Structure 1
Amino acid sequence: MSNPLRPAALSDAPAITALLNAVDEIEIGRPETDLHTVEADLKHPGTDLERDSWLAFDGDRLVVYGLLWDESEGERIDIDHYVLPDHQQAGMRVLDAMEARALEKARDNGAQRAVVHLHLNVRPTLDTGLIEARGWQVVRRYHVLRRPVDPAADLAPQAPAGVRIRACASEADQARVHELYQASFARHFDFQPRDYPSWLHDIDAEQLDWSLVWIVGVDDLGDVGFLLARGDREAMGWIRSIGVLPEARGRGLGGLLLRHAFAAFAAKGRDMVGLGVDTANATGAPELYARHGMTLHYAVDTWETVLG
């Protein structure tokens, strides 16, 4: 008889991290999940672990993990789902529970339906035929890109006349990055507006090295862009987000920020830098990253289902 599902607790973070790294090894060839990332997810303010998380075991071994959160406060619900290949039945039991909870959550928000998104590697451990039979379909693809960096080759770029880059050195600067983030991503696919406290949680601000966050400004418009990077991922330096306001695009500011981040990571002794990009991004981001030597590490699909 199958073991019953149970909700996750923060104390389960090491076991969940081990499961996600086992999935990483199958999907991308190496473990790339850090404990602090899992802990931050479990602390998500939009998640009630008792009702919004699920664990399935084979004996004492964790084989499925699911987490649900709600940033839209409407019909859009997000889920994570990780399953070991030989435990698809348990994976579907968790997905049953997640779909039911997603619809309940959306209706609690006053919506008539739930539009649920799930991100999966393009060659996932989950049998996608099982979710296609349930009405799930791919609606977007993202690429995780990476680039080697070297302190001798990746030197800090010289900003052109009328352009300045400053480190995020104060709480006022942090709040400004939040404003720039919201404005520069407002028209992006699946963007969910976030107030300042919620955004601080999203970026795991307590663990963030703010010296790896920069603001770019120009004489005629003031602050117009930012780059937010993380140095606490073991696998590589990570650029979490880079954005430039629409009115300042086309001036080379994104590339300037990117080269600045490469130089900073190289100076800190990192040998690889990565980021994620929407392949259908209309701002030219995929081309920008390609011009700066970033190549494909792996691809992720956004799957969607509509319940109700």
Structure 2
Amino acid sequence: MTAPAPGDRGAPVLVPLDPDAHTETVWRLARERDLAALGREETTRAWITGRLTAPGLDARRDARLLPGADGRPVGAVWLSSASGIAGWTAELVLGPDATADDGARLLEFAERRCREQLAGGEGELSCFVSEGEKAARAALHTRGYGSPHPYHRMAVTLDDTLPQPPDVPGAVVRHLDGERDFRTFHAVKNTAYAAEEAGKSEDGFDTWLEWWRTDPGVDPAQCALLEVDGTAVGFANITDRMLDSRGAAYVRQIGVAPHARRRGLGSLLLLWVMHASRSRGRTAMVLTVDTANAPAIALYQRLGWRVETRFDDFRRTVTR
């Protein structure tokens, strides 16, 4: 496991990642990273398991572990793609003992895998890291990733001080009524959300459905549609991504169609899902929002959400 790589005598080789054998190791690294960078645990074992078995990912081909000098893994990376997100993502996990050079080696592997998947021309590779992940950020700069696009991680406590959702004439929020609502949910998502976040794009229903059903923590019973006079104009994708680590519901995606904004519908939808999550025993709610989305941030803060930390989306172009 620690034989030197060709041309780099003394440096441990990258090890193909086997989800059956290495999920616990990657989860340990992620927990240690979270504690060091965020001061709390966020990543769950279920999240790591889901990401390493996501549709289209062959972990033995697309993921690597990096052992340290003593043979104990210090980092991992895997190349992934998701419905509605252009390009590929290098999901980089560096434990607290990893160096910037370790991160650069793992990123180099992800870039090579990305390059191998290009039919021709060029593609975009991104990597999402928190402001506290110093070694990862240094590695990204070393590998030539451009100016990062910032996001806020925000949270709110779900307690008996929650205000009630406003009454908007003709508007109702409801849970999904089985699979017949999936197409409506997807269509509203594309209308309300795709253009709001950097790097997001519309996607096809079948591709999205496969991704959504396997997204770690997904729970259709917690998702909601916002309707006005019987027409869907908003949606909320609420998951249990952070239930085991923080007792929190996670807002994977939420949005209101552009033509229906500035009518109090965003407050209605958000407060409705906050109350629904509290009724399920969640003690908090967490989300990640583009710092350029000022109207959304103003809404969240008005309803008691607070900024916890900043994450940055680093990107670079990869050419075949």
Query: TM over 0.5: same fold?
Result: yes
Relative to structure 1, the CA distance from residue 231 to residue 44 in structure 2 (aligned partners, 3 Å threshold; closer, same or farther) is closer
Is the CA contact 2:30–2:95 (under 8 Å) kept in the aligned structure 1?
Answer: no
Q: Is the 8 A contact 1:82 1:126 kept in 2?
A: no
| Cα separation, 2, equivalents of 1:163 and 1:293 | 23
- Contact in 2 for aligned 1:64/1:91 (Cα 8 Å): yes
- 2:272 matched residue in structure 1: 260
Task: Give the distance between the partners of 1:75 and 1:25, measured in 2 at CA.
Answer: 30
Among all aligned residue pairs of Structure 1 and Structure 2, give the percentage whose two residues are the same amino acid: 26
Counterpart contact for 1:64–1:84, Cα < 8 Å: yes
Q: Deviations over 1:135-158 (max 9, x none)?
A: 2123310111001111x3336535
For this pair of structures, how many residues does the alignment match?
A: 302
Question: What SS does structure 2 have at the residue aligned with 1:171?
Answer: helix
The within-5 A match list for 1:1-308 is 1-11=10-20, 12-58=22-68, 59-71=70-82, 76-88=87-99, 89-105=101-117, 107-108=118-119, 110=120, 112-150=121-159, 152-154=160-162, 157=165, 159-188=167-196, 189-203=198-212, 204=214, 208-219=218-229, 222-231=231-240, 233-234=243-244, 235=246, 236-281=248-293, 284-308=295-319
> TM-score, normalization: structure 2?
0.86
Q: What RMSD over aligned residues (CA atoms) do the two structures have, in Å?
A: 2.3
Cα distance change on mapping 1:268 and 1:74 into 2, 3 Å: closer
Alpha-carbon distance in structure 2 between the residues aligned to 1:290 and 1:206: 27
Specify every segment of 5 or more residues in structure 1 that has no aligned partner in the other structure, as ranges: none
Cα displacement (A) at 1:60: 4.6
* Residue type of the alignment partner of 2:193: F
Measured against aligned partners, the alpha-carbon deviations of 1:70-114 in whole angstroms (never above 9, x if no partner) come to 358998221111212432233222111111222222x22x3x123
The answer for unaligned runs of 5 or more in structure 2 is: 1-9
> Residue 2 of structure 1: SS of its match in structure 2?
strand
Q: Distance in 2 between matches of 1:265 and 1:26?
A: 29
Q: Which amino acid aligns with 1:208?
A: V
The aligned amino acid for 2:58 is D
